[in-house]
Amino acid sequence: MNKGAKIGVSVVAAAVLVGGGYGAYALVGGGGSGKDEAKKPRTVVAEPPSQELAASGAKAFLEAWAKGDLFAAAKLTDDPDKAQAALQSFQDKVKPSAVHLTVGGPTTAPSPAASKSASAPASGAATASAAASAPAAPTGVLESFKASVEFAETGTPWNYDGVLGVVKMSDGTAAVHWAPSVIHPKLDANETITVKPLYAAPSTVTDRKGKPLGGYPSLTGLLNQLRSAAPQGGDPADAGSGVVITSAADAGAGAGASPSPSGSPAAGGGAKTADEKLFTLKEPKAVPNLKLTLDADLQAAAEQAVAGQGGKPASLVAIEPSSGGILAYAFSPSTGQNRAFSGATAPGSTMKVLTSAALLEAGVTPTTPMPCPETTMVTGKSISNDEPGAHPDYTLTDAFVNSCNTSFIEKGKDVLKPNSLPAIAKDVFGLGLVWRTGLSNFDTDIPVEGNMAGAASEFIGQGKVRANPLGMASVAATVQSGVFRQPILVPGMEQKKAARNLSPEVLGSLQSLMVQTVRSGTAAVVKPALPAGSGAKTGTAEVDSSADANSWFTAYSGNLAVAAEVQGGGHGSAAAGPAVSKVLHVGNK
């Protein structure tokens, strides 16, 4: 066989067979005795071949191709150079052990690729003047054929039906009108047929108990991402193989290919955006279901919780403290931003969990006096509390459970440093580390301020602090277990580790503050009431661009930690608190 040629799939309009444009193909005629006669071009004529002539032309071409005489087969077309390159490429890339081709007879149905290119201009687009002088479009005869391609590695042949267009040439002979669809009816311009590794179809994605996760609006993006990513970069040991149609650019540009200007697709349609499997040579290894850390029951509860906020944007995340597994996340509207993971707004007084941890490590105890003045000044701005009046007898416990802003600002300025909050956030709670959760997320940002005036606003979750429910649910999870475990969606993912843990004494005091907040503090008014033994912290975050404060709430109960945020929801106990409580109850059944 004539080796070394590569496929060229510049489209030649099949419209010459179904009423479209006309391309003239010059070939050197054979059999003439004179020099001028020998050089006379052999071209397609407008007159169609007879049925007998078309059948003999198709039969001769298919016989030569089946025997592997690709040079002879190409000479029986109206574009020998492109035909030989394409046939050789098919042989080299597909590597069949045998090709059986049989004429089927006249047909009236063109191949899909031929139909698609019916309105396209002829390949080798002639100039306007040449087109104007071209003769009338010729007509041809369509001949069907059956192909049976054999492979050494499988006993099952690849069978398909094809269509050839046969035209009459100026020397009275018949020729197969060359187009990519001659090789296979689905082959189009700028494409090639080759053998590629095949991997099993994307596995079914389930929750941690094997329940399907379809039907949850907030999970649509995640599931689409996992399905599209699943076949990529598979283990070669798990791969099968198959014959596919792929972009010629992906498989290597073929000889004789005529790229379109500016990279645009050639006439007859552009390259496929994904490989199209035509035949399986070897079945790939089956892929087991992909189980995520999610819990379908909690996901349902989370979806309901954010959807029931009267149209206000809301988001929620539930985490298993013992593993860091994300059990549920939801956001509303589900067609908008995933605020649960990528939101970046001030978390308000939920940040006092971290500030209290820093104060406790600095020597403050739950009974240390922390007076609550009615107002205090921060960077020239007067800061007040949700509840009016001064409370000079407050301790740390009182200030925490009643969420006194002025207590935390005043005590923070006395005993903390500008970097105290960012440091403990990163070293103990993992906030500020780069998390890889399995889905794009914003990492909580607590900047190091240059002076205490700037840091004071961060003590109460305002200023330049930016967080989302993912981060604040992780904070509650760390308090519950005493160990930061980075949130993940896929079991076994690498989890960043925090530099250290809180001491048992500090951890116990912090847990006590959160539990007392549920018993008698700002979280005690949440309806439905949180499960017994829960620890929580409310948050009300003022945002300059919003007339209403954002509602925040973070809590834990048993082996479950949940945080929620409702934009414009007001006090933490009013909107975010009930959402968190409902999810905690489902998780504690």
Q: What CATH number should be reported for the domain holding residue 56?
A: 3.10.450.50
pLDDT (mean) for 399-414: 96
Same domain, yes or no, for 47 and 86? yes
pLDDT (mean) for 412-417: 95
- Alpha helix locations (H) across 144-197? none
Helix (H, G, I), strand (E, B) or coil at 263: helix
Same domain, yes or no, for 247 and 319? no
Q: What are phi and psi of 199, to 5 degrees?
A: -115, 155
Beta strand 141-151 pairing with 98-106: antiparallel
> Which tokens go with 552?
């925040």
**Quick check: is 289 in a domain?**
no
Beta strand 154-168 pairing with 141-151: antiparallel
Does position 64 have pLDDT exceeding 50, yes or no? yes
Q: What is the pLDDT of residues 254-299, one digit of tens each?
A: 333 332 222 223 333 344 557 899 999 999 988 778 899 999 999 9
Same domain, yes or no, for 251 and 337? no
**Quick check: is 420 in a domain?**
yes
CATH number at residue 343: 3.40.710.10
Same domain, yes or no, for 510 and 552? yes
Same domain, yes or no, for 222 and 144? yes
Q: How far apart are CA 321 and CA 559, in angstroms?
A: 6
**Quick check: is 92 in a domain?**
yes
Q: How far apart are CA 574 and CA 556, in angstroms?
A: 18
Same domain, yes or no, for 304 and 181? no
Q: How far apart are CA 472 and CA 561, in angstroms?
A: 9
Same domain, yes or no, for 400 and 464? yes
Same domain, yes or no, for 221 and 334? no
pTM greater than the 0.85 cutoff = no
Q: What is the pLDDT of residues 525-569, one digit of tens each?
A: 999 999 999 999 999 998 766 678 999 999 999 999 999 999 999
251 pLDDT tier (thresholds 50, 70, 90): low
pLDDT attached to residue 31: 40
Does position 24 have pLDDT exceeding 70, yes or no? no
**Quick check: is 260 in a domain?**
no
Q: What is the pLDDT of residues 171-218, one digit of tens each?
A: 999 999 999 999 999 999 889 999 999 888 666 899 999 999 999 999
Domain count, the chain: 2
Residue type, 289: N
Same domain, yes or no, for 224 and 313? no
Same domain, yes or no, for 308 and 185? no
Q: What is the pLDDT of residues 293-317, one digit of tens each?
A: 999 999 999 999 999 999 999 999 9
Q: Which residue has the higher pLDDT, 470 or 259?
A: 470
Does position 44 have pLDDT exceeding 90, yes or no? yes
pLDDT attached to residue 112: 55
pLDDT attached to residue 216: 97
Tell me what percent of the residues of the chain surpass a pLDDT of 90: 72
Same domain, yes or no, for 274 and 311? no
**Quick check: is 221 in a domain?**
yes
**Quick check: is 170 in a domain?**
yes
pLDDT attached to residue 544: 63
> Which tokens go with 75?
């000479």
pLDDT attached to residue 318: 98
Q: What is the pLDDT of residues 82-128, one digit of tens each?
A: 999 999 999 999 999 999 999 999 998 765 554 444 433 333 333 33
Average pLDDT, the chain: 85
388 pLDDT tier (thresholds 50, 70, 90): confident
- Contact at 8 Å (CB) between 120 and 21? yes
**Residue numbers of the domain that contains 391:** 296-587
Does position 11 have pLDDT exceeding 90, yes or no? no
Least confident stretch, 73-82, 103-112, 322-331, 564-573: 103-112
Same domain, yes or no, for 373 and 249? no
**Quick check: is 84 in a domain?**
yes
**Quick check: is 112 in a domain?**
yes
Tell me what percent of the residues of the chain surpass a pLDDT of 70: 82
pLDDT attached to residue 290: 87
377 pLDDT tier (thresholds 50, 70, 90): confident
pLDDT attached to residue 34: 46
pLDDT attached to residue 202: 62
